[in-house]
Structure 1
Amino acid sequence: MRWIVWLVIIVSGLNWSVMSQADELRPAYIELNQVSGDNWRLTWKASARSRLGQTGAVIIPENCRANGEPDRQFAADNILTFRDLACSGSIEGQTIGLSGLELSNTDALVRISSSDGSLQTLRLTPDAPSVVIPSADGETRIGNVAAAYTVLGIEHILEGFDHLLFVLALVLLLKGGWLVVQTVTAFTIAHSLTLVGTTLGYLSLPQQPVEIVIALSIVFLAVEIVKAQPGESRLSERFPWIVAFLFGLLHGFGFAGALAEIGLPQDDVPLALFTFNLGVEIGQLLIVAGGLLVLALIRRLSGEWLRPAKLVAAYGIGTISTYWFLERLIA
């Protein structure tokens, strides 16, 4: 009984934590474009629902000065701020950052485009809210893009709670680590197809209905876990690869929406897509490994508590995903 009480407390806390933070995890975005000579155009975007979007501000390089007042606009759920800058000399070796980022729980991408065609992608975090602009050589640019988008992929699956809960539900539903890995791989292949197709403009679906169905896909798996009985095979247990693949196609549209929020470096689209997908796969494998480890520990400590533990987790996942479904439907 103590296991059940503690599991209820933990899952309840996670429910409120996940539901309250779901809209706070969108990366902010800073773009610095060289128009000509000393003239630069600064654009920065943050979620209008976040504290960062309301109070954050870009820390511009010391050799730059802002001309005129900032132009703030609302676009969907984001706040866009535009400023014209005059920078004396090169901005390489100068510091750019985002004040207020250290108080948030999200990251920020910085994209710097020079008039000579060079492009850099840098990443800011709450622990490192500013960065020194390196030289724009090709090797540095490629390394920055690969590192930034791999980490973004990992973070999106670990902090994009709907995708995280879907993978976790697969771990709870299926029996055997190898079967889970195979099923998650089918999910990966499917969401990679729609992510790439949508990003490159070959596929398109309205984002809001997609997000609603993604929430329903998690509700479906939670119900399958609750209704699963020893000796009986549910639909998702008989055909786990097919179920994961079909739902993965929808989740890919969700990944594409997140990637559209972040943006892609136009000169390195294939690299950014590949490393983002790689990061997502790494994140999924971390979830699978963590979930299987917890189940193994419960089974080792007391096998009779494995089923109740799965039920508590399933009800928690179902509660969260139902909340998301209703919230997105109303929106």
Structure 2
Amino acid sequence: MLVCLAAPARADIFMAADFTLIAGEDSGSYELTAAVPETLAQDAALAWPEGCRQTGMTRQSAAGRAHFAYAFACDRALAPGDVVQTPWKVDGGRFAASVGGIATDRSLAADANGIAVPIGEAGGEARTLIQLAREYLAQGVRHIWLGWDHLAFVLCLALLARGRELLWLVSAFTIGHSVSLALAFFELVRLPIPPVEAAIALSIAFMAREALLVGRGAQPFAWGRQLTVVTLFGLLHGLGFATALEELGVRPGEQVASLVFFNLGVEVGQVVFVGAILATLAGLRVIRWEVPARVAALYAVGAIGCFWMIERLAGFASA
């Protein structure tokens, strides 16, 4: 009798939303994605923080949820108090972000107006010069040590010259890639990446051939020519470094410091690598294996450079 008189019970389903913030391709640009239950996903405007504006929006539906992607840009760095007010009457949500090396993952509470997404937490507090130096020096070292094509080129330089001549060649390469890194990072120069990567591979094969010819006496060490060629190839490699720096999501206001420390990190990693090569050659010289090891290394590096060039050209053509 009590069962018959009782009002029907309703299963209380928790209606949640998921928000994700990532950095855009351009400085000061971001993308906020929102996954909301389809039944609550009315198209309504979001309230953006002061200094930020929406630049685009797309919507897709899948598995009973609406997926929104909002592109927006800010003319200043994100501040800790910045929030985006969303209109969806959900019960709660989750916010995840990774911008400028700062990761955020937390739950969100809702109120009568919807959910306020704290995008400012992804911006974090203004970082000190020491914090920027620590982060971007490490990123620069990491990039040069994981950039096999850049290391292969530096290896060719270390096997081409010695002493003061090697110092000048490495300095010319440093100047070249430092200039193009700055120009590309500040978007003063913009070139498509696939042909640049193919040209970088070609530069490795070319320098391996130069080192082989000079080493066997078939070609004299033309000081002015080598210096010019290495500088020009350094400009190419700098464009590749700029791509890696852009992918780190540098915040507005930190561009100059991040560029300087990232470039210094690249140089530190490069100097350590050259030192390791010279030490290895000195050890091989003691046991009289320097010449055959040098020739074998140059043939191997040249072949790899040719393979990379063909591979990248094929990928460029298919794209």
The TM-score with structure 2 as length reference comes to: 0.62
Equivalent position to 1:319, from 303, 307, 311:
303
After superposition, give the CA deviation of every residue in 1:272-320 in whole Å (9 maximum; x if it has no partner). 00000000000110111011110111112x23x2111111111111122
CA distance in 1, matches of 2:298, 2:102: 39
CA distance in 2, matches of 1:111, 1:200: 25
**What's the Cα RMSD here?**
3.7
1:119 alignment partner in structure 2: 123
2:22 alignment partner in structure 1: 43
In structure 2, the CA distance between the partners of 1:68 and 1:146, relative to structure 1 (3 Å rule), is: farther
CA contact (8 A) 2:204 2:305 kept: yes
Note the C-alpha offset of 1:111.
6.2
| Residue 139 (structure 2) pairs with residue 152 (structure 1) | yes
The TM-score with structure 1 as length reference comes to: 0.60
Gaps of 5+ in 1: 1-38, 46-65, 74-80, 84-88, 91-95, 99-107, 121-135
CA distance in 1, matches of 2:223, 2:159: 11
- Code of the residue aligned with 1:318 in structure 2: it is G
Equivalent position to 1:166, from 153, 163, 172:
153
In structure 2, the CA distance between the partners of 1:82 and 1:174, relative to structure 1 (3 Å rule), is: farther
1:283 alignment partner in structure 2: 269
Task: Determine helix, strand or coil for the equivalent of 2:254.
Answer: helix
| Residue 270 (structure 2) pairs with residue 270 (structure 1) | no
| Residue 293 (structure 2) pairs with residue 309 (structure 1) | yes
CA contact (8 A) 2:103 2:122 kept: no
Note the C-alpha offset of 1:181.
2.1
| Residue 189 (structure 2) pairs with residue 185 (structure 1) | no
After superposition, give the CA deviation of every residue in 1:84-143 in whole Å (9 maximum; x if it has no partner). xxxxx99xxxxx899xxxxxxxxx9336797669934xxxxxxxxxxxxxxx3x4x4433
- Code of the residue aligned with 2:281 in structure 1: it is L
Equivalent position to 2:209, from 223, 231, 245:
223
CA distance in 2, matches of 1:117, 1:44: 13
1:330 alignment partner in structure 2: 314
2:102 alignment partner in structure 1: 110
In structure 2, the CA distance between the partners of 1:263 and 1:97, relative to structure 1 (3 Å rule), is: closer
- Code of the residue aligned with 1:307 in structure 2: it is V
Rg (Cα) greater in structure:
2
- Code of the residue aligned with 1:217 in structure 2: it is S
Structure with the bigger percentage of helix: 1
In structure 2, the CA distance between the partners of 1:41 and 1:281, relative to structure 1 (3 Å rule), is: same
Equivalent position to 2:36, from 58, 62, 68:
68
CA distance in 2, matches of 1:111, 1:272: 18
In structure 2, the CA distance between the partners of 1:141 and 1:190, relative to structure 1 (3 Å rule), is: same
Note the C-alpha offset of 1:240.
2.9
In structure 2, the CA distance between the partners of 1:191 and 1:239, relative to structure 1 (3 Å rule), is: same
Note the C-alpha offset of 1:215.
0.3
Note the C-alpha offset of 1:175.
2.4
Task: Determine helix, strand or coil for the equivalent of 2:189.
Answer: coil
CA distance in 1, matches of 2:162, 2:219: 11
CA distance in 1, matches of 2:139, 2:59: 26
- Code of the residue aligned with 2:123 in structure 1: it is L
Note the C-alpha offset of 1:179.
2.1
Task: Determine helix, strand or coil for the equivalent of 2:101.
Answer: strand
- Code of the residue aligned with 2:159 in structure 1: it is L
CA contact (8 A) 2:23 2:249 kept: no
CA distance in 1, matches of 2:222, 2:147: 23
In structure 2, the CA distance between the partners of 1:229 and 1:291, relative to structure 1 (3 Å rule), is: closer
Note the C-alpha offset of 1:164.
0.7
Gaps of 5+ in 2: 1-17, 25-33, 38-57, 61-67, 71-79, 82-95, 105-116
